[in-house]
Amino acid sequence: HNFEEKESISIDLDYLYFFNDNPNDYTDTYYDGDGNFIKEELTKSSKETPLNAFVTSADYSNQVNDKLKFQAGAKASFSAMANDVSVSNYNGQEYIEDPTLTNESDLDERIYALYSSADYTISEKTSLKLGLRYEYTDTELVSDQDGLLVDRNYGEFFPTAYISHNVNDTLSFNLAYSRRITRPSFNDMAPFVIFFDPNTFFGGNPAIQPAISNALSFGTNYKSY
């Protein structure tokens, strides 16, 4: 909605449903160094992972005057994933489930954010951009076998600043600072297993932590360089 030419607000609602079904059957045959048959092993695994994600946001923008533009907003995302993994080995008569590689887990994550930014033209040659974002994260991962694996709640501020200056038509400088967060994806955290062979598989790591980075950069442009 545009209140007037320089002032507006927007609201977004998004929903995503994704279902991953990954069944696998393995037949492993073993031979000695002379090529003589030793044994055969049969293994099967299944992985069913439905994922629901809902995101809503509201953003406000106002061109206050020729020098100042102000923006602010709020965002919330809700994600839920169920992960059902089963691995079974054939004993000659039937498939027997391996309890060490079979698990069902549920992951719920909620992220709330408030943010604002301002673009200010200090002079014809110098401009400044400032931003501040606050995020609160609530993550819970529960396993049927191991109970509560992850119960993580934290809030962080993420400021950004950018200033640029044009010395003349061919030379300019800029200085920037930002603080950001990189969260582990659901695939990184979910306690699943996928086999490459009987002795090699990869899986999620429930103990993985988010990473926070602080970046400072300085740049200069001279003509096309």
Going from the first residue of the chain to its last (225 residues), give the mean pLDDT of each consecutive group of 10, the final group possibly shorter.
91 94 88 92 88 95 93 96 87 88 87 96 94 95 83 93 94 96 81 71 80 96 91
Residue found under tokens 């950004």: 160
Structure tokens at 194: 């996928």
Q: In this predicted structure, what is the pLDDT of residue 191?
A: 66
Buried b (16+ CB within 10 A) or exposed e, 86-117: bbbeeeeeeeeeeeebbbebebbbebebebeb
What CA–CA distance (Å, rounded) separates 162 from 142?
42
Q: In this predicted structure, what is the pLDDT of residue 81?
A: 87
Closest by CA position to 201, among listed 43, 15, 72, 53: 43
Q: Cα-flanking dihedrals φ and ψ of residue 146, to 5°? A: -110, 0
What CA–CA distance (Å, rounded) separates 46 from 26?
11
Structure tokens at 222: 């001279």
CA 158 remoteness from chain centre? 17
Q: Cα-flanking dihedrals φ and ψ of residue 189, to 5°? A: -95, -35
Structure tokens at 52: 């629901």
What CA–CA distance (Å, rounded) separates 57 from 73?
7
Using alpha carbons only, how large is the chain's radius of gyration in Å?
26
180, 156 Cβ separation under 8 angstroms: no
16, 51 Cβ separation under 8 angstroms: yes
Q: How far apart are the first and last CA of the chain?
A: 41
Q: In this predicted structure, what is the pLDDT of residue 85?
A: 84
Structure tokens at 217: 């950069």
Alpha carbons within 13 A on the beta-carbon side of 199: 0
Q: In this predicted structure, what is the pLDDT of residue 138?
A: 94
Q: In this predicted structure, what is the pLDDT of residue 93?
A: 87
